[in-house]
Structure 1
Amino acid sequence: MKKAFQLLLFLTSAVVLLYCTTRPTTATKSRKPNVIYIFSDQWRADAVGYAGNPDVKTPFADQLAKESVNFKTAVATMPVCTPYRATLLTGQYPLKHGVFYNDKPLPNEALTMGEIFRDNGYQTGYIGKWHINGHRNGEHPFSARDKPITRDRRQGFDYWKVREVSHDYNDSFYFDENDQKHLWPGYDAFPQTDSAVGFIKKSKDNPFLLVLSWGPPHNPYHTAPEKYRKMYDPKTLKIRPNVPKEMVDSARQIYADYYAHCTALDDALGKILKTLDEQGLADNTILVWTSDHGDMLLTQGMLRKQRPWDESIRVPLLLRYPAKFGRKSIEVNKPINTPDILPTLLGLCGLKIPATIDGKDVSNGILKPAEYPIDAALVMLPVPFHEYNFQNGGREYRAVRTERYTYARRLSGPWLLYDNQTDPYQLNNLVNKPEHAALQKQLNDVLNQKLKETNDTFLPADEYMKRYNYTYDNKDSLRPQSYYAEIRPK
């Protein structure tokens, strides 16, 4: 009898052990989703195959689009590097977190993405470009770019393979968790992606947040690996009709080099997607692929960013979360803005959204358009600087981008109005035309409401620089003689 009881006890224990070790489905369902946020620097919305671009080669992004929520009107609230990053990490507008100028530091007191996820049991990692550590007043404008970011300045991220900023994408260096300097061999986006793969494999048994920040396709455009540059013949590329005729040849060469970076990064994206599938993590991972802002690439006769035109403010944004949305394409046409990204990720993870966050959680509106909370995205440039400083035509502005329209206002009054449905290349400025007066008033009211919601009184640039005790870099503060006449309302 005793032996029979011992045998029964042994068999029961074995069954329990077998059950506990062979029930991944239940464990997966109860576990918080992983979050991987991949973003590049200066990749504009139209430079992907799935958006209808006939030239650029992005097969992995195109496949991802077939399995993801595609935010077709994803907008950078301030389309330039440091302000975007500070807004992404805090969910706040630039005039609230105070980082509205490149190379200014995000305060330690800020409550950030890394800290929120870490406090909710997530392993956290950051790889690549950081660009929110900044320099102190009186120091050389770019003096912090080659220095390590100390542990207290890492905003909640523990795994750390980071450089403040570099635009040399070949054999660049970075600092690890211990402030030790290392080399990324070759084209840095590739070993950065390998590091991300290692983090994913190492962290797969616990929920994790990983941010992978690539430097390209930000200029210099010609520095992609030769393999990718050989894929593009400038003479064959289609140029957008809003590039001035006298700049078309230059634009073709820039496009070819820019697209080479895009295709290289697309290959890196493919490696992440493959790893998630191989590790059995894809279904329970929220994967976001996007960019911080676009690049004019000679549209409207301009290069780079900070401008309110679509090539500067609109970015690709795909969000794949198979456990909630399946592996199918879902298109969202209404805007999503930079401050909305963090609360949306928190909402999808079932985490509490702190009161410090300005943005809105759009997750419920993805499948229920009637519940989508945003009709217009606020775009701003409180202080023009560097490539778009006052001498180069930069001016303070505020703007809204809706699903259909763009409306921008300078200190002197209305500046731009486009119907992006009938005029997708923004060639016909409708501002102050009598036949569009009602539309202009409506959008001006929308902008005023956005400014009221964000406590933005739209002051001249110097007022914000004084308020935050910032100094201008180089000659950014210099104005042409016409400036003060321009800002006087007519």
Structure 2
Amino acid sequence: MKKSSYLITILGILLIGSCAEKKKAVAAQEKEPPNVLILITDQWRAQATGYAGDPNISTPNLDSLAAISVNFKNAVSGMPVCSPFRASLLTGQRPLTHGVFMNDVQLDTNAVTIAKVFNKEGYDTGYIGKWHLDGHGRLQNVAPGQRRQGFKFWKGNECTHDYNKSVYYDNDDPNRKIWEGYDTFEQTDAAIDYIKERKSTENPFMMILSYGTPHAPYHTAPVEYRNRFDPEKIQLRRNVPDSLKERAKKDLAGYYAHIAALDDMIGKVIKNLKESGQFENTIIVFTADHGDLLGSHGAYKKQQPYEESARVPMLYYLPEKLNIAAGERDALMNSEDIMPTLLSLCDISIPSTVEGLDYRPYMEGRKQMGGATLLSCVQPFGQWNRVTKGGREYRAIKTQQYTYARDLNGPWLLFDNVNDPYQLNNLIGNEGYTALQDDLESLLAQRLKETGDEFLPGMEYIKKWGYPVDETGTVPYTH
């Protein structure tokens, strides 16, 4: 054999071997279970991102993530207040089933949770940041064991809104520790360390990184972020009344400062995932537990059925091997739908205790679903939904175009969210919408029947679950 032919033969053998190795590596990666990273923020309304068109804020890292993710642009927090969303995320159940229909009560330690299910499938599970599911008082340690609902790695606290030098507890250490700076930064670094450590293990991971921001207090982000936003230049939503405009501009400037910092941190997490080679095999969910009215409709914070309160960001970045196209989706994914969808995406059986919907078939284009979902409020005596401030128990049906709500006295709100995105025109009783109102009332009644919701006064549920009340007959926020 000529020397040149011999070399060509050797090169060919090497090339075939190299291709075979690459194919083996790809095949191995396709069989490898995906990691799961859930990024939860507190009180980040869906409208407040660059990719959603907010003129006040630039979120380049989230915009980049949204461009390669499934974006559920109509996603909602079904009971828009902190603890109910978090309990529904962990259990895949609706609030009247798991019992956390208000803040500062404990999720049953026997609950079948997302962490417990992933543990059984050989995953490492971790939780960093705000918990708000223990009901044992603010800043208290959530003791190792059942109260941590299956999470093995832990760097968190029950709840705090002091974002500078805030308290946390480190795994089994019972002593309080302090995040040295702005906790959004410190928690991000802790998550990155956790992710790096997982690369040396054989197990995939499922981790929740739960940020406390951009929840109030609004003006506590690092000064370099606060300096980016001039209250006088803030463009308000059209549904903020004149009486609140000055306050809302000031608070929004601080709110956006927290968001800008969060965007940088999300970018930092993604950068480190890429550098560690784990990005391509990690499902990333970005969401929030509820929104913030911030002056819209003359109110602040949450619990109301309005868009600024109930609608939340919901991005799913999915590894290429799942063959699911990125892009916007119209379906109304709800809080309890996150757990079953993630389990399905990881080819893990969904427990029978779960009530939420599995959206994998919808993402794959095999099934139409998510045309309507429920919004509800049981507690008309929270800090932001008191009867004295117009708060009320309600049940609402939200479709891709309309929001229809009734309180205990009857029909309350009807908005065409497509033609009236700021919900300025309540169509209840409007002659031209009688048939629509009747249809939505029937749909709401049907959903309540299907879910076993009798729509009782809030105190009936308090009595049923045995939650304590104070001398005024209400449930204190600090319980």
Q: Which residue of 2 aligns with 1:73?
A: 74
What CA distance in whole angstroms lies between the structure 1 residues aligned with 2:465 and 2:367?
37
Letter in 2 for 1:166: T
Measure the CA separation in 2 of the matches of 1:327 and 1:53.
Answer: 27
Aligned to 2:224, the other structure's residue is in SS state: helix
Deviations 1:399-456 (A, max 9, x none): 1111111010101001000000000000000012221011111111111121112110
Aligned partner letter, 2:369? P
Q: 1:4 matched to which residue of 2?
A: none
Distance in structure 1 (CA, Å) of the matches to 2:226 and 2:113: 38
Give deviations 1:201-233, integer Å, cap 9, x for gaps: 111342110000000100000011101000111
Q: Tell me the distance in 1 between the aligned counterparts of 2:190 and 2:27.
A: 30
Summarize the Cα distance change of 1:372–1:311 in structure 2 as closer, same or farther, 3 Å threshold.
same
Per the TM alignment, residue 325 of structure 1 is displaced from its structure 2 partner at its CA by 5.8
Q: Hey, what does 1:128 align to over in structure 2?
A: 129
User: CA–CA distance in 1 between the matches of 2:46 and 2:74?
Assistant: 9
User: Which digits, 9 at most, give the CA deviation of each residue in 1:98-151, with x for residues without a partner?
Assistant: 11111000011110010011111110000000000003xxxxxxx353234332
CA distance in 2, matches of 1:266, 1:180: 31
- Listed as ranges, the gaps of 5+ residues in structure 2 are 1-15
Q: 2:408 aligns with which of 406, 411, 414?
A: 411
Answering whether residue 203 of structure 2 is matched by residue 202 of structure 1, we say no
Q: Secondary structure at the match of 2:279?
A: coil
Could you tell me whether the CA contact under 8 Å between 1:149 and 1:164 is conserved in 2?
no
1-structure distance, mates of 2:323, 2:280: 8
| Secondary structure, aligned partner of 1:209 | strand
In 1, Cα distance between equivalents of 2:321 and 2:259? 29
Number of the residue aligned with 1:442? 439
Q: Distance in 2 between matches of 1:126 and 1:41?
A: 15
Distance in 2 (CA, whole Å) between partners of 1:221 and 1:112 is 32
Please report the TM-score for the alignment, with normalisation by the length of structure 1: 0.89
* Equivalent residue number for residue 285 of structure 1: 282
Aligned to 2:237: 240
CA separation of 1:190/1:32 partners in 2, compared to 1, >3 Å: closer, same or farther? same
- Alignment counterpart, residue 165 of structure 1, candidates 125, 134, 159: 159
**Equivalent position amino acid for 2:118 in 1:** F
Aligned partner of 1:52 in structure 2 is 53
Name 1:193's counterpart in structure 2.
Answer: 188
Aligned residue pairs total 455
Rounded to whole Å, the distance in 1 between the matches of 2:421 and 2:472 is: 35
Q: Deviations over 1:29-65 (max 9, x none)?
A: 1111110000100000010000011111211001111
State which of 165, 175, 182 in structure 2 corresponds to 1:180.
175
Aligned position for 1:104: 105
- Write the distance in 1 (CA, Å) between the matches of 2:389 and 2:120: 44
Q: Secondary structure at the match of 1:219?
A: coil
TM-score by length of 2: 0.91
Give the drift of 1:242.
0.2
Percent identity over the alignment is: 47
- Residue in 1 aligned with 2:370? 374
Q: Is the 8 A contact 2:138 2:160 kept in 1?
A: no
Name the residue aligned to 1:468. 465
Q: Could you tell which deviates more after superposition, 370-379 or 206-215?
A: 370-379
> Structure 2: how far apart are the matches of 1:292 and 1:96?
18
CA positional deviation for 1:393: 2.3
Quote the Cα distance in structure 2 between the aligned partners of 1:149 and 1:421: 47
* Residues 1:224 and 2:225 aligned together: no
Q: Which of residues 126, 148, 152 is equivalent to 2:146?
A: 152
